[in-house]
A = this chain, B = another copy of it.
Amino acid sequence: MIVIMRPEATEADIAAVCQRANEMGLAGHPCYGVQQATISIIGFDESFSPGDFSSLGGVDRVVRVSTPHKLASRQSGLPATAIKIAPGITVGSGLTFVAGPCSVESREHIVHTARLVKAGGASMLRAGAFKPRTSPYQFRGLGEAGLDYLAEAGAAAGLPVVTEVMTPAMVEKVAARADVLQIGTRNMQNYDLLLAVGRTDKPVLLKRGMSATLTEFLLAAEYILSAGNPNVILCERGIRTFETHTRNTLDLSAVPALKTLTHLPVVVDPSHGTGRRELVLPMARAAVACGADGLLVEVHPDPDRSISDAQQAISPEMFAQLVRDCQAIFGALHPENARTTV
């Protein structure tokens, strides 16, 4: 860590910073510039806080040097992580397509939809049984019955299932029936929930908080990793900006940026990321072009009749086109292994 002093800071101020470092078992090394001094604090790690220094006399600000997410970091020397979900389905190797309706609407509906997305090229089935809704008066999902229907639909179609868990008390029940546990954008910093899924042996699909920086996103993953679960899939799903034409602003630059920062696989959700059906297909293509390991897409047999998020659901036909286009791009960029994906 580096403490930047103000130009008017005195020698006594500099000495006080070094003394505070000593009290904490660290060492402070001043360096004198033309205008002002800086002090390198050696030995600083995550159990300390920049606030330990930032309010001392003469201090202008404090700059962190080392990365705060040890386990999630590329710096830790691990190769890129590939996460095996089921025989033949590995996130982080080729392209993974996760598709399905926003919510489980009925037993028949999800069984039917599962078959359609399988036929269109999906490798996993997604649907919500517990739905976080902005208003308490909106449909919040079928709950545990929905979980059963989803598991049945996945089994019938031969697709592993991904579904959201919203509270620590439900983690065990959801883990018993799902292949991948999803943490939604509103819960990215629900730390008890992160620790709870971190204690299971199921892979976790972690959605980026709608106003989370990449550092905060990786620290949320670090919670799960540090609890013992090494299988975290990061999901970019759009961030909140001033633009209102789209529901969120899909931050695709997060994909290659995360690839340089972490060894974890990264998938993209162009459905929530745009909130507009006509943008799902082009943004799915773009996600693959910039290096995403897969896509999470809302698909509904009759999109206009979707109980929730109708405006962003695509039809099974559009989904099949999406898979074809994405495979074509992946193939053009990786001619050597285009054949082996799906």
Contact = CB atoms under 8 A, between A and B. Distances in A.
Contacts of A227: 136
Given A4-B65, A46-B135, A167-B168, A51 B282 contact: no
B306 A134 contact: no
Interface in A60-82: 63, 65-66, 68-69, 75
A112 interface: no
A303 B243 contact: no
A287 to B, nearest CB: 7
Contact of A256 (B33, B136, B214, B279): B279
A134 B219 CA distance: 6
Contact of A42 (B34, B40, B52): B34
Contact of A246 (B54, B257, B283): B257
A306 B56 CA distance: 12
Interface string A303-334: 11011111101000000000001001101110
Contacts of A288: 289
A66 B33 contact: yes
A243 B252 contact: no
A211 interface: yes
Nearest to A226: B136
- Number of this chain's copies in the complex: 4
Interface string A220-245: 00110011000000000001111111
A7 interface: yes
A253 B246 contact: yes
B191 A132 contact: yes
Nearest to A166: B192
A138 interface: yes
A136 B219 contact: yes
Interface string A44-60: 11110111101110000
Contact of A310 (B33, B52, B219, B308): B52
B192 A211 contact: no
Residue among A2, A250, A253 with the highest chain B CB neighbour number at 10 A:
A253
A222 to B, nearest CB: 6
A167 B256 CA distance: 34
Interface in A230-284: 239-246, 249-257, 260, 273-274, 276-279, 282-283
Closest CB pairs A-B (n = 4): A46-B137, A211-B211, A51-B310, A289-B289
Given A46-B137, A55-B310, A328-B333, 10 more contacts: A51-B306, A55-B277, A69-B135, A135-B219, A136-B226, A211-B240, A239-B241, A244-B244, A257-B276, A328-B332
25 contacts: A2-B4, A2-B38, A6-B75, A32-B42, A35-B65, A36-B65, A49-B138, A55-B303, A55-B304, A63-B63, A135-B222, A167-B167, A167-B190, A186-B189, A190-B190, A211-B242, A215-B245, A241-B241, A243-B254, A253-B283, A255-B282, A256-B278, A286-B289, A328-B333, A331-B332
Interface of A: 2, 4, 6-8, 29, 31-36, 38, 40, 42-47, 49-52, 54-56, 63, 65-66, 68-69, 75, 132-140, 166-169, 186-187, 189-193, 210-211, 213-216, 219, 222-223, 226-227, 239-246, 249-257, 260, 273-274, 276-279, 282-283, 285-291, 303-304, 306-311, 313, 325, 328-329, 331-333
